[in-house]
Structure 1
Amino acid sequence: MKILIALGTVLSLVAHSVQADPLADAQAAARDARLADDPAWADLLQYEPYPITGHLRSLADDTGFFNAPDGARNPAAELNATLARLFEPARPQAPDEHPQCRFPARHHWLRQRLALSPAQLPEQPCPRLEKWAAEINPAGVTLVFPSAYVNSPASMFGHTLLRIDTPGQTEATRLLAYTINYAAKADATDGFTFALKGLTGLYPGALSSSPYYAKVREYSDMESRDVWEYRLNLTPAETRQLLRHAWEIGATRFDYWFFDENCSYMILRLLDVARPGLRVAKQFYWTAIPVDTVKGVVAMPDLVTEISFRPSTGTELAHRAKRLDPASLDAAVAVADGRRTPQSLGTDTQAIEQLEFADRLVSFRGHAGKLDQDDALARLKAIQITRSQLPTIDTGVVPVPPRPENGHASGRFGLAAGGLDGANALFLDLRPAYHDLRDPETGYARGAQIRFLELGASQREGQGWRLDRFLPVDIVSVAPRLSWTQPLSWKVRFGWERVLGARHATGPMIAGGPGAAWEWKGLLGYVFLENQLLGHGDLQKHWAIGSGPLAGLLWDVGAGKRLQLEAGRQWFNDRRLDRSAARAHLRTRLSPRDNLVAGYEWMHIELPDTDRQERRLTVGWQHYF
C-alpha cells in the first residue's frame, strides 16, 4: 500500500511539473491565438510582403534582430524563438544583455497578448533602458517636418522625425524634449554621390536620439529650414511602446533606400507599432517622400491634434528685412558687416528694428560658418549693448506660409500633343518625384527643382514610341541674391537625352554649373554657366565637352499661371558641334491635381553633315499622383 501511495505521489508531481511549464504554455497559447499572423507582430519584426510573391520578409538587414535562424522570413518561427529567449534565466552580472532588454517592445506586446503574469514570466531589470526612458520622460509624440533644403544632399526632399513630449510640457520647455530620428549614415557631401548610393541602398540607416533644441539649431539656424510640428494624439502608454521599439531597432542595421526605406517610412512604422491597427505606413508601398508621409499622417482621422510653425532664421530675417526701407536695410547690413557702428543708427523705432535685424544677421552668419566666431561674438556684443539701452517694440509676427500638406502630390504624369521636327507628335512624361520650377509652389521651397527618375517619350506621325530622356537626377537651386545674403545658385543633372536633336538617338550626358538669381516684384530671373559632357556615336570622338550661358525667367502671370522662359548656348571642344536653344512654357492650374500646359522649344544644331533648326510645340495635361 505504501508503495502505491508513493508511486501516486510521484506521478502527481510529474503531472504537475508538466502542467507548470510556463514557456510551453505560452507557446501553445500563441499558436492557438495565431499571434504570428497578427499585423502587430509583423510591424514589430518590420515584415513587409515581397512585391510579386507576397511572401513576408523583414526590412531589417541584421541577423541580431532575429531569434530564429529563419526569423527574417518566418513569423511563426520567430515568435516561438522569441518567447523561448524571453524566458531565459536572469543575468545578474549583465542584466542589460537579457533578451527582455534587447527586445522590450516584443516582450511588452507578448506579455499583454498572452496575459503573462510576473510569476509565469519574471520581469528582468534593464538599467540602461530604464535610465534612457526616464531621461526622455515620455507622455506624447509630435511629428516634426523640417522643410526641404536643396543645398544639402541629405535634405533635398525634406525630413521627418519625432519629438517625444514630456508631461506638462509648455512652449518654453518643448525645446528640451528629446527626438527620435532616422537617417542615412552618409559619407557624401555632393548630391550626385548621395543620390547614387541612396538609390541603390548602399548606406546603412541609423536611429538616434538627441535634444530637440539641437535639431532646431541644425535645421532652423544652420540650414535656414522652416520647421512644422504636428502634435499627435498618442497616449503615454502608446508613446512608451514606441520608445521600446525605437530601442530595438536602434542597434539594428537597415539598408537605407532613398525612395522607400528612408527616414519618413521608418518613422511611420514606429507609429504603427505604437498604435496597432493604425497602419499609416501601408499607404506608402512604393515610395515614401517626406512631404507625402506628412499628408498621410494628417489624413488619418483624429491623429493630428495641433499644428505649429517654427520659422527659420532665414525666414525671420526676410520678414524683418521687408519692414525696413532700402536705405535703412543697407545701414543695418553695414552694422552686421562691421562697416558701421551700432550707435550710428540712432535711437528711434526704426533704429531698434535695424539693430534687431543686424543682431539676427550676425547670428545667422555665425551659425552658417560664414563669419569667424570671434568676429561674430564681438559684433553681437556691440549690437546688444546698444540695443539693451533702448525700449522694447513690437516687430510683428512672421506670416505663416501654406502648410506642406497643402502642396501638390510628388508624382506627376503628363500627356501632350503637338509637333516635333515638322511632324505631328504625341508626348508622354512621367516623374515619380518630386517638384520642378513650373509646378505650383504652395508647400514647396521657392526656386528649388528636384526631379528624380524622370522619363520622357514621344511618338512622331508614322513612327513608334521613342525614349527622349531618362534623368535619374535633375536638381536646380535658384536662390535670389539680396542685400543681406548672396546665396549661390546651382544646377546638376545626368542621364540620357536626345542631345543632338530628335533625329538622333539618346546619349549619356552630365550637365550643371554655378549661377546667380535675382527677384524683383515677383519676377525671378537667373543665369547659369552650364557645363556639359555629352556622349554620342555621331560625335567625332564619341564625346564632347562644352560650356556656355543659360538665362531664364520665372513669372507668375496670373492666379494659377506660371511662365518660364529660357535661352542658352554652349560651345564645345569638338568644333564641329554648335548648339543653341530657347524655350517657353506656360502652366495653368486647373485643380489641385491637374494642370494645363503649353510649350514651345527651338534648337539650332550644327554638325558637319547637319545645320538645321528644330522646333517642338506642345499642348497637354499634367496630373499629380
Structure 2
Amino acid sequence: MKTLPAPLVPVLISALIPLLALAAQPARADTAIALPQLQAAARAAQLADDPAWADLLQYEPAPVTGRLRSLADDAGFFNAPDGATNAAAELDATLARLVEPARPDAPDEHPQCRFPARFHWLKSRLPQLAQATPDRPCPRLSAWAAEIRPAGATLVFPSAYVNSPASMFGHTLLRIDAEGQTDATRLLAYTINYAAKADATDGFTFAMKGLFGFYPGTLSSSPYYVKVREYSDMESRDVWEYRLNLTPDETRQLLRHAWEIGATRFDYWFFDENCSYMILRLLDVARPGLRVSRRFPLTAIPVDTVKGVVEVPGLVTEIAFRPAGGTELAHRASRLPPAAMAAAIAVADGRQTPASLGTAPLAIEQLEFADRLVAFRGHAGKLDRDDALARLKAIQTTRSQLPAIDTGSVPVPPRPETGHASGRFGLAAGRAAGAPALFLGLRPAYHDLLDPETGYSRGAQIRFFDIAASQREGHGWRLDRFLPVDIVSVAPRREWTQPLSWKVRFGWERSLGYRLAPSPTVAGGPGAAWEWTSGAGPLMGYVFLENQLLAHGHLEKRWAIGTGPLAGVLWDPAPATRLQLEASRQWFNDGRLERSQARALLRHSLGRDNNLVAEYEWTRAELSADGRQERRMALGWQRYF
C-alpha cells in the first residue's frame, strides 16, 4: 500500500475537520434548515390570521381601535417581544422555540411543555413540525393529566351569594369529567377554576378593586367535592351543572390551555376579564370556531354567560341541580309544624335529647332536620367542631334505630338562564318638583329588589354603574344619580337561622332634594328582615340603620354625616307584579339638616324582557332650595338587555 507524502497529511486533516464537525451535528443542521421551511409553511397557511391562534394567545379586539391585543399581562406568556400585539411575530418565535433541544435536567421547562396547547394545534396544522422535532417528555403535565383522566367537561354555576364579596355575581367553573365516571364518583372529578386573588373581606373594597382591575386572576385545579363543600355547605349556594358535549380530544386541549394560562398573570376585572370570561375562552380553545366568548364584547356577567352557553345549539346536553345545605334545610323546615320545629331546634342546640322526640314519623323528620341543622352550623363556623360531632353522633345514633321514610325531594327552582338579562334601560314620564319631566335610566348590571326573581337570589340587590337622568320643563337634561356600587342584602330571619341584612352604596345622588345638584355620598348600614307567606302573596319586611356621609356646597361644613331608620316591605300580590314601599328619616351632625323620605314602586312584568313601572317619591330636606316638600311621580317602561 502506498502512503501519502508526509507534507500532504496535515493539509488533508485540516480539510476534513469541518466535514467531521458537520457530520457530528446532523440534528442541529437539520433543524436549522427546517425552521425557515416551517415558518414559510405557516405563513403560506396564514396561521397567524387563524382565529384559533388568536384564541390561544388570548387575543381580543381593543374597545376603541379594534386592534387585537392579548389579555395576558405577563411577558412570560409570549415568545416574541411584541407577542402581545403581533400574532405573526409570536408565531415565528413560537416555532423557533418549539424546535429547540431539550435540557435533560429540566424537561418541563421546554417550550413544548410550557405551551402544550399551541404545540398541539400547530402540529395539527403543520405536519412538518412533527418531522422537525420530536415530542419532548413533560413529566409534570403528564402526571397532572393522568390524575384527571379527562373525557368530557361540565359547566358549573354556583348561584350568587351576596354575603361574600367574591361571590356577589355568582360564579362559573368547569368540572373535568373523568373516564368511566358515574354519579357515585362525580364528586371526585377535578375542576378548573379562575378567580380573583382577593385580599378584601368587605363588599365595598372588593367592588372598588375589582371594578378597576387591581386584583390578579389565578387559575386553579381542585377536586369537585372541595368546591361543592365550599359553595353548597359553607356558603349555602345552589349549584347548577351543565354537561357539555366536548369530546375527549377537545377536553384534553382545554386542559393543555389551562396549563398554559395557569402560570400567567391576568388582571381581574369585575365586568369583563372575570371568572366567566376566562372559562368561555377555554371553551373557545377546546373547540376552534366555537367563539362563545365573542357573545360578550363588553361585559361577562356569570348568569349571562350561562345563557350564552345554553344558546349554542347542541353544546349543552344535560342540566342538573344540586341544592345547597340551606335550601334543603328550608325545604325540611317547611314540612314541620311550629311546635315540632321548635323541638327539633332544641335537639340541634343540645337543649333536648334526640330520644325525647319519640318514634313517630314526625319525629323522624325532626331528627333529620336537626342532623342537617347541626351540620349546617358546623360548616358555617357557628358551632365548635367537637360539639358538632358529639351532637351529630347522638342524633344519628337515635335516627339509625328508626325506619326510613320518604321526606320528599327539594323542589327544583327555575334555572338561572331563564331569568332576565342583567342590563336594563328605562324610559318614563311624569312630574318632578312641580314640573312635567322625562326620566331615563341605565343599569349595566345586574339585579335589584324590584326585578323579577326568576333565576336570581331572593332578597339580593347588586347594581353597578346605575345611572339616572331627567329633563324638567324649562330645564335641560340633568344627572340625578350615578352609583358605581349599590348592594343590598335582605336576608330573612328564620327560626333556625338569623342572618344579618346589610346595604352599601356610593356615588352621586340628589340627597338634598330635587332642586339641588347631585352630591357625592357613601351610605349603608346593618339591618334585619322577615318573611311571611299568605294567600295574598309573599311578603318580606326589612329595617336598616341607614348611615350616610355626603358632601355639598350648601352644607355648613360642606359635608355632613347622619343616621336614622329605614323600613320597607316587598309584596308580590300576583306572579308578575311586585310592590316595594319604603320610609326613612335621618338626622345629621349639621343641625340645619334633617331628611325624611317615602317612596312606592310598582313593577309589572310583560314577559321576560319588559316591565311596566310606576313610582311615587316624597322627600323633605331642610336644606332644599326653598325648604318645601318635593314629590316625584313617574310611569314608564323598562327593557332588559
| TM-score, normalised with respect to structure 2 | 0.94
Q: Deviations over 1:94-121 (max 9, x none)?
A: 1001110000000000011101464422
Deviation at 1:138, TM superposition (A): 0.2
CA contact (8 A) 1:22 1:121 kept: no
Aligned-partner SS, 1:69: coil
Q: 2:203 aligns with which of 191, 196, 203?
A: 191
Q: Which residue of 2 aligns with 1:601?
A: 617
**Equivalent residues in 2 for 1:88-237, closer than 5 Å:** 88-116=100-128, 118-237=130-249
For the pair 1:409 / 2:425, whether they are aligned, the reply is no
**Partners of 1:447 and 1:559 in 2: CA distance:** 16
**Partners of 1:241 and 1:437 in 2: CA distance:** 42
Over 6 Å off, 4+ runs: 16-20
Q: Deviations over 1:171-215 (max 9, x none)?
A: 110000000000000000011110111011110000000000000
Q: Which residue of 2 aligns with 1:543?
A: 559
Structure 1 residues 609 and 588, CA gap change in structure 2 (3 angstroms): closer
Deviation at 1:559, TM superposition (A): 2.6
Matched letter for residue 50 of structure 1: A
Q: 2:592 aligns with which of 576, 580, 583?
A: 576
Deviation at 1:49, TM superposition (A): 1.2
Q: Deviations over 1:584-618 (max 9, x none)?
A: 01001012110000010001111397421000000
Q: Which residue of 1 aligns with 2:43?
A: 31
Aligned-partner SS, 1:21: helix
CA contact (8 A) 1:181 1:263 kept: yes
**Partners of 2:133 and 2:31 in 1: CA distance:** 15
CA contact (8 A) 1:576 1:608 kept: no
5+ unaligned residues in a row in structure 1: which ranges? 1-5
**Equivalent residues in 2 for 1:526-565, closer than 5 Å:** 526-565=542-581
**Equivalent residues in 2 for 1:61-76, closer than 5 Å:** 61-76=73-88
**Partners of 1:147 and 1:574 in 2: CA distance:** 43
Q: Which residue of 1 aligns with 2:391?
A: 379
**Equivalent residues in 2 for 1:295-314, closer than 5 Å:** 295-314=307-326
Aligned-partner SS, 2:449: coil
**Partners of 1:64 and 1:366 in 2: CA distance:** 43
Q: Deviations over 1:333-391 (max 9, x none)?
A: 11101111101000111101100000000000000001111111111111111111111
**Partners of 2:170 and 2:327 in 1: CA distance:** 16
**Partners of 2:575 and 2:154 in 1: CA distance:** 35
**Partners of 1:91 and 1:20 in 2: CA distance:** 18
**Partners of 1:18 and 1:441 in 2: CA distance:** 65
Q: Which residue of 1 aligns with 2:520?
A: 508
Q: Which residue of 2 aligns with 1:3?
A: none
Q: Deviations over 1:402-423 (max 9, x none)?
A: 0000000000000000000100
**Partners of 2:539 and 2:151 in 1: CA distance:** 47
Deviation at 1:313, TM superposition (A): 0.2
**How many residues of Structure 1 are paired with residues of Structure 2 in the alignment?**
616
Q: 2:285 aligns with which of 255, 261, 273?
A: 273
User: Cα RMSD between the aligned structures?
Assistant: 1.7
**Partners of 2:452 and 2:126 in 1: CA distance:** 52
**Partners of 1:255 and 1:139 in 2: CA distance:** 31
**Partners of 1:364 and 1:591 in 2: CA distance:** 37
Q: Deviations over 1:130-149 (max 9, x none)?
A: 00000011000000000000
**Partners of 1:524 and 1:19 in 2: CA distance:** 73
Deviation at 1:18, TM superposition (A): 7.7
Q: Which residue of 1 aligns with 2:467?
A: 455
**Partners of 1:371 and 1:19 in 2: CA distance:** 65
CA contact (8 A) 2:284 2:290 kept: yes
**Partners of 1:446 and 1:528 in 2: CA distance:** 18
Structure 1 residues 462 and 608, CA gap change in structure 2 (3 angstroms): closer
Q: Which residue of 2 aligns with 1:442?
A: 454
Q: Which residue of 1 aligns with 2:12?
A: none
Q: Which residue of 2 aligns with 1:322?
A: 334
Aligned-partner SS, 2:622: strand
Aligned-partner SS, 1:268: helix
Structure 1 residues 117 and 52, CA gap change in structure 2 (3 angstroms): closer
**Partners of 1:296 and 1:608 in 2: CA distance:** 47
Matched letter for residue 174 of structure 1: R
CA contact (8 A) 1:549 1:570 kept: yes
For the pair 1:478 / 2:490, whether they are aligned, the reply is yes
5+ unaligned residues in a row in structure 2: which ranges? 1-14
**Partners of 1:109 and 1:152 in 2: CA distance:** 39
Aligned-partner SS, 2:492: coil
Aligned-partner SS, 1:329: helix
**Partners of 1:451 and 1:609 in 2: CA distance:** 30
> Relative to structure 2, which stretch is displaced further, 217-226 or 19-28?
19-28
Q: Which residue of 1 aligns with 2:4?
A: none
> Relative to structure 2, which stretch is displaced further, 163-172 or 256-265?
163-172
CA contact (8 A) 1:47 1:56 kept: yes
**Partners of 1:601 and 1:118 in 2: CA distance:** 72
Aligned-partner SS, 2:267: strand
Q: Deviations over 1:239-287 (max 9, x none)?
A: 0000000000000000000000000000000000000000000000000
Who wins on radius of gyration, i.e. which is larger? 2
Q: 1:336 aligns with which of 335, 345, 348?
A: 348
**Partners of 2:84 and 2:463 in 1: CA distance:** 34
CA contact (8 A) 2:38 2:129 kept: no
**Partners of 1:471 and 1:274 in 2: CA distance:** 39
**Partners of 1:75 and 1:437 in 2: CA distance:** 46
Q: Which residue of 1 aligns with 2:583?
A: 567
Deviation at 1:21, TM superposition (A): 2.2
Structure 1 residues 609 and 304, CA gap change in structure 2 (3 angstroms): closer
CA contact (8 A) 2:189 2:224 kept: yes
Structure 1 residues 608 and 122, CA gap change in structure 2 (3 angstroms): closer
CA contact (8 A) 1:492 1:511 kept: yes
CA contact (8 A) 1:150 1:448 kept: yes
Q: Which residue of 1 aligns with 2:637?
A: 621
Q: Deviations over 1:548-602 (max 9, x none)?
A: 1100000011130100000010111111001100000100101211000001000
Aligned-partner SS, 2:104: coil
CA contact (8 A) 1:508 1:535 kept: yes
**Partners of 1:142 and 1:22 in 2: CA distance:** 41
Matched letter for residue 605 of structure 2: R
For the pair 1:287 / 2:303, whether they are aligned, the reply is no
**Partners of 2:468 and 2:159 in 1: CA distance:** 28
**Partners of 2:492 and 2:119 in 1: CA distance:** 54
Matched letter for residue 456 of structure 2: Y
| TM-score, normalised with respect to structure 1 | 0.97
Deviation at 1:223, TM superposition (A): 0.1
**Equivalent residues in 2 for 1:479-494, closer than 5 Å:** 479-494=491-506
**Partners of 1:81 and 1:247 in 2: CA distance:** 20
Q: Which residue of 2 aligns with 1:255?
A: 267
Aligned-partner SS, 2:344: helix
Q: Deviations over 1:295-332 (max 9, x none)?
A: 00000010000000000000000000011111101110
Structure 1 residues 483 and 110, CA gap change in structure 2 (3 angstroms): same
Deviation at 1:90, TM superposition (A): 1.9
